[in-house]
Amino acid sequence: MNVLVIGANGQIGVRLVRQLQESMKHNPIAMIRKEEQLAKFKEQGVQTALVDLEGNIEDIVNVVKSTDAVVFTAGSGGHTGPDKTMLIDLDGAIKSMKASQQAGVKRFIMVSGIGVHRWHDTNRLDWMDSSPVYSAAKYYADAWLERSDLDYTIIRPGKLNNNTGTGKVTVADDLPHKQISREDVASAIITSLENNETIGKSFDIINGETPIIEALKTL
């Protein structure tokens, strides 16, 4: 598949692009927003698209048209304010979904946050109280996707780290806020792309003892 990675310069995005390229089965297209980010991907032989999520939706549509699937890994980052969180994690996500619909590309994978589907619950995970804007943005972006006509998968990783991936995870609808490596999240994205049984599914994912391909079969 030609896979558009939105947020390709982010920590999950970089790993996902590399794994897609190394798989020899898929062609990653790295969507980035700064010209200075182009050289890194071109040196890797990765096709790039310079598009700003805060720009026109038509620019996103033009890139999506040449793809088979879209993965949204973009985020405003921890050093920005609530305004950027809403513009990237919510509005940018919804723009990307609308662009996919307009381009006729159905497969869409969202990288979300563990437990955000419980944002309105009294027993929600503690981390959300310290990141309320981010949690709300992710909650409503996921809700929009679930109500769309896209063939979606929503992956909600736990506390992210840069450890070497183990290839083993735990997936479920409700999991504790435990760790997972970004490499394993990237692997779970690719496995989801290759497994149509994950379409229409949303799940938390953390470190575990089950190989990723087997874990995703239990959804």
Does 139 participate in catalysis according to the annotation? no
Q: Coil, strand or helix: which one is 156?
A: strand
Q: Where are the alpha helices (DSSP H) in the chain?
A: 11-23, 38-43, 57-64, 82-85, 93-103, 127-130, 132-146, 182-193, 212-215
Structure tokens of 209?
Answer: 């003892």
Distance CA 124, CA 203 (A): 15
From the candidates 134, 139, 140, 152, give the one annotated as an active-site residue.
134
Pairing of strands 210-211, 168-172: antiparallel
Distance CA 86, CA 134 (A): 8
What is the set of active-site residues? Answer: 134
